[in-house]
């Protein structure tokens, strides 16, 4: 699928193929994402591409909301440090 077609024809997808995404397509997608406008043109972009299935499963599991006590104003997501590397 063409990246522009995927962006403009977006929809919720719950199933994915096991085929890895080509690095050139990843670059096109990140390039398209940085074209989005930002307040005062600050461009605070930070993208992380995760291709390791085990790490992706861990991120998914840990990003699930934590049940809060009634009346609590604390965030339901625990703060965790993250490491990333640029697409080279």
Q: Tell me, what DSSP letter sits at residue 77?
A: S
3-state helix, strand, coil in the chain (%, to 5): 35, 0, 65
| Closest C-alpha among 18, 19, 2, 20 to residue 10 | 2
* pLDDT tens per residue, range 13-40: 778 788 888 999 999 888 888 888 888 8
Q: Please give the Cα distance from 51 to 20 (Å, whole number).
A: 8
SS3 state of residue 88: coil
* Residue that the structure tokens 């640029």 belong to: 86
* pLDDT tens per residue, range 33-78: 888 888 888 888 888 888 888 998 898 888 887 665 565 555 555 5
- Regarding pTM above 0.85, the answer is no
């Amino acid at each position: 699928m063409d990246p522009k077609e995927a962006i403009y024809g977006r929809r919720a997808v719950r199933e994915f193929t096991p085929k890895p995404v080509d690095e050139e397509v990843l670059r096109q997608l990140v390039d398209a994402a940085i074209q989005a406008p930002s307040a005062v043109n600050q461009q605070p972009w930070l993208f992380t591409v995760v291709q390791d299935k085990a790490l992706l499963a861990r991120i998914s599991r840990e990003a699930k909301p934590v049940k809060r006590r009634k009346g609590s104003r604390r965030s339901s997501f625990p703060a965790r440090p993250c490491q990333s590397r640029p697409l080279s």
